[in-house]
Amino acid sequence: MDDVFLTVRIDNRRSICISPLPTKTYKQAGAKGLGGEFGYFIYETDSACPDASIEVIGKAASLDAALRLFDVICRSLNQTSPLGLPETVADAA
């Protein structure tokens, strides 16, 4: 599995991140029902609560899915995705 860490700010305190999670972090976050600790997780961090655990939002099915999700998140926040993925048909219309 590639060591990928993607992050984008969603407001002054919070960020959405996509990356694999260490086993300890996965267990501390209480992420259950996501098919285990391996894979690319979508989670939120809050800089106002640095001691708080992360909030796992979901899990991407593959690295390609993780990259596409990150691109969608960046576009929805009107931020340029650093990934440079091509525009979708809906974006071009």
pLDDT for 47 beyond 80: yes
What is the 3 state secondary structure string of 34-52? Answer: CCCCCCEEEEEEECCCCCC
- The pLDDT-based confidence of 40 (bands split at 50, 70, 90) is very high
- What per-residue confidence (pLDDT) applies to 43? 93
SS3 content of the chain, % helix, strand, coil (to 5): 25, 25, 50
> For 38-63, what is the mean pLDDT?
88
- Tens of pLDDT, residue by residue over 56-86, are 999 998 999 999 999 888 888 876 666 665 5
- What per-residue confidence (pLDDT) applies to 86? 56
Cα 23 to Cα 37: distance, rounded to the nearest angstrom:
6
Whole-number average pLDDT of the chain: 81
